[in-house]
Structure 1
Amino acid sequence: MAALVSSHLDKPVNLLCLSLLLLVCILSQRSCAQTTYKSVNLGGWLVVEGWIKPTLFDSIPDNDLTDGTQIQLKSVTLGTYLVAEDGGGSKIAVNRNSASGWETFKIWRVKDGSYQLRVFNKKFMVAQNGGGGIVNAVTTTPSTWETFQIIRNPSNRNQVHIKVLNGMYMQAKSQDQLTADFQGEPGWGNNAATFEMNTFGQLKGEYQLTNGLGNRAQQVLNDHRNTFITESDFSFLSQHQINAVRIPVGWWIASDPNPPAPFVGGSLKALDDAFSWAKKHNIKIIVDLHAAPGSQNGDEHSGTRDGYIEWDSQNNIDKSISVIDFLASRYAKDSALLGIELLNEPRTAIQLDTLTPYYKKGYDTIRKYSSSAYVMMCNRIGGADPKELFQMNNGLTRTVVDVHYYNLFDDQKFKSMTVQQNIDFVKYDRAALLNILLSANGPLIYVGEWTSEWEVKGASQSEYQRFGQAQLEVYGKASFGWAYWTHKNVQEHWSFQWMVQNQYLDL
């Protein structure tokens, strides 16, 4: 009798179950994900990062004075440092016994040997009337009077003279005021025109490379793009169970083949090639706006000139939406497109009430062209609430929140961790956080950057294997999947290709 009743109820029960399943799918994007993606970032390819391939910067003259390098200048006669009083907006004095923020100047490279110096509050050092008098830091937009030659001692490159427009040199005659009125050639003895230069905080991004190379930049970038990632890399990834790639791009790609100087064309053709290769090897593509106009995080991978975060002006936000519109219109109908990421790693210096309207407008922009492409939104870095983007995703479809997990970049937390403590942190702390995100009935979750590198020194192959395996197990539970940073890197443990080929990472 029970069997008879069951047979009569099979169809209604099945229909009810199907209806409930569809309802759950509507209410929760996460439960309806058809595929989780094992993916790899193609970092350092279409957005240059010098630490990934340092040799790109070798041929730049004075390549320790690229844009954004920070310098401090100490008078050899007075023994005190140059300072932009009040952080800028008034005189340059030479009266500090130690150097900090106001005593630090950021390089803007004009051409080989010629530079502009940006002070703490973003104004520029200027020799009034091109030289012959006082030196201030009062200019907002630099031009000829703000441009100086930094001439280095051939036998001691940390010793410099600073030549101004009219041929005179800056000198520190007193601690009260820097002047630009030393006439003749100062020589490298103990004189007021000689300074000790300390350099630090160098940036090695695409802006630094292209501006440093000048008219050679196009050929260098062409060679790099044509060789760093090729179709053979897509074949390799496909053979090792990778079904997606995340490709960082810079905002200048939307102006290809003639982007604003100093950027050079060619990245768009390379991205087109990637879409072609992806289809051949059954790989999906996430296009990631990694470098946004004005810089969203001040890091070299954001295309910044000097490390200041200036993305959150309305003009730069509008430019970013234009880039998203360009990418969506170009690739929305391409079968290889998986998603578009609206912004990579904005820092908490970017206010949430500035970021979320941008993300919503970016979502609407992509939806003009595609209802199926995933719209991906990166969490802010620097201590933000990991669920801060969940509320804005209510009512949106096919959205993904991208979280980045590294056992690095936090000296207090990771510097002293042992091998087992690192592994346990992933297996318990990270797993718990990920479970909270996954159980919140919000957008899909993507661990869009992680790596097998850590702060442990001298770890064995088996220890790297255990660490990598722990991350694969935990991040493999993310509802959208994960992406290793990055495919190729001169630093071996950051290179997915090297880690797989040398059996440090087993998928």
Structure 2
Amino acid sequence: MIKAVNLGGWLLAEGWMKPSLFDSIPNKDFLDGTELQFKSKTTRKFLAAELGGGTNIVANRSSASTWETFRLWRINETSFHLRVFNKQFLGLDSTGINLVATTNDYQTSGIFEIIRKSDDPNRVRIKAPNGSFLQAKTEDLVTADSKGDGQWGDNDPSVFEMTIVRRLQGEYQVTNGYGPLQAPQIMKDHWDTFIVENDFNFIATSGLNAVRIPVGWWTASDPTPPEPYVGGSLQYLDKAFLWAEKYNLKVILDLHAAPGSQNGFEHSSTRDGSIEWGQTEETIQETVRAIEFFAARYTDNPSLYAVELINEPHASGVSLDVLTKYYEDGYKAVRRHSPNAFVVLSNRLGGDSKELFPVASGMTNVVIDVHYYNLFSDIFDTMNVEQNIEFLKTTRSDELQAITTSDGPLTFVGEWVTEWQVRGATKEEYQRFSKAQLEVFGRASFGWAYWSLKNVNGNWSMEWMIKNGYITL
């Protein structure tokens, strides 16, 4: 049975790296995917993409939500494309003056600059592709024909109050934020220090027998991955396999980030929070090529135990038909090189727990991966310690039992953590919570993997939890 820990940090995301990694990024407020809202100082209304996109931009919304939110695509520290809710990009219409969002091609949309007032960084002007500044002439007319040379007063239609709604902190944000001159050294420093050989020794001596390593699709193109990613990740993955072999650990190679993002989360290296994977055949075939590359490269390494074809595809953006076809192609790619390695199929977030059984029925050595957290849902907000533990022993146990069958695929709880919504819990209560999860998830027929080995938040770090006596294996 697999008793594993995830090596979050092989792929960058919030919590999986030293917080200081972001400190030196130039203009770090404006990284890819940052969500911004702009309120006109003259109309006192928010800029909005009418109908969510596909037509003109107005300044007539009293409150801000999705249509009033703009996502950055960073070109450099001062220049950006801006994307609206329906995925069109801001630009100017045929007159070269009126602001619209009508194109899905960022390369033809135009480049914008956001200029902040020196002593009030939330007060901004937006320079348009024609060199003039945007202004809200009326609630229904936003144009790019201001000189932007006023005194930043509330009566200046080119002045907007900016609110940063959300930031992303993933590998795309780091590498594109630092740019091609700085990013290679930044990433090398991270790879050299975050997870090292001694960590594999710790894992092996702590009662664990495997590691689940999250990787990005671009590693298969190393040493010249597509921009903004930088070369070097493959040699560190090679090291991980060598260390795993040295310390007799099994490796579950997990494709955590697919081209275009399969779930919109920063840990899938999304650029702006959108789900683009599977919407074109090229994104699927690029992913199959990555799986085949990894399967071929590590087939002779005795530590290769399983290949996970993709992590956490989201049902809101990935159809079951698309995922089924990909799983069939990915399975064949692994089998061309490795007849015995397990192939792991991750359930869709928001999908039915048994929806992958039909595709798995025609495969050998196949595993269904489910992730169980007592988090990320309103039902956990008011649960106390005893209710959380009881939920594990009843609901979670029943869910796992329902998909663990004698004639079906193996089951794998590929992610879980000793964290909850309970505030002020004692060490003894955390210990009981850990013990309950180990007991329930230990019934998975393939095994389990804790998220993760290291994390800036103590309970998310299995290393910290073991060293401080919160988890006993």
Match of 1:71 in 2: 36
SS of corresponding position for 2:138 = coil
The one of 333, 338, 346 equivalent to 1:365 is: 333
Deviation at residue 60 of structure 1 after TM alignment: 1.4
Matched, 1:259 2:218: no
- Aligned partner of 1:287: which letter? L
Q: After the TM superposition, which residues 6-155 of structure 1 pair with which residues of structure 2 at under 5 Å, given as runs?
A: 36-45=1-10, 47-53=11-17, 54-128=19-93, 133-143=97-107, 146-155=110-119
Match of 1:374 in 2: 342
CA distance in 1, matches of 2:148, 2:354: 63
CA distance in 2, matches of 1:104, 1:237: 44
SS of corresponding position for 2:463 = helix
SS of corresponding position for 1:289 = strand
CA distance in 2, matches of 1:471, 1:391: 29
Q: After the TM superposition, which residues 32-431 of structure 1 pair with which residues of structure 2 at under 5 Å, given as runs?
A: 36-45=1-10, 47-53=11-17, 54-128=19-93, 133-143=97-107, 146-190=110-154, 191-214=156-179, 215-312=181-278, 313-349=280-316, 350-382=318-350, 384-411=351-378, 413-431=379-397
- Aligned partner of 2:322: which letter? T
SS of corresponding position for 2:90 = strand
- Aligned partner of 1:370: which letter? S
SS of corresponding position for 1:50 = coil
SS of corresponding position for 1:297 = coil
Deviation at residue 458 of structure 1 after TM alignment: 1.2
Alpha carbons 1:115, 1:147 under 8 Å: kept: yes
CA RMSD, 1 decimal: 1.4
The one of 395, 410, 413 equivalent to 1:444 is: 410
Deviation at residue 145 of structure 1 after TM alignment: 5.7
Deviation at residue 390 of structure 1 after TM alignment: 1.4
Alpha carbons 2:9, 2:195 under 8 Å: kept: no
Alpha carbons 1:69, 1:201 under 8 Å: kept: yes
Can you give the 5+ residue segments of structure 2 that lack an aligned partner in the other structure? none
Deviation at residue 142 of structure 1 after TM alignment: 2.2
CA distance in 1, matches of 2:452, 2:61: 43
Q: 1:427 to 1:162 in 2, by over 3 A?
A: same
Deviation at residue 398 of structure 1 after TM alignment: 0.7
Match of 1:11 in 2: none
Matched, 1:496 2:462: yes
Deviation at residue 387 of structure 1 after TM alignment: 1.4
SS of corresponding position for 2:75 = strand
Can you give the 5+ residue segments of structure 1 that lack an aligned partner in the other structure? 1-35
Larger Rg: 1
Structure 1 residue ranges (4+ consecutive) displaced by more than 4 angstroms after TM superposition: none
Alpha carbons 1:134, 1:177 under 8 Å: kept: yes
Aligned residues: 468
- Higher mean alpha-carbon deviation, 444-453 vs 352-361, is at 352-361
CA distance in 2, matches of 1:182, 1:351: 45
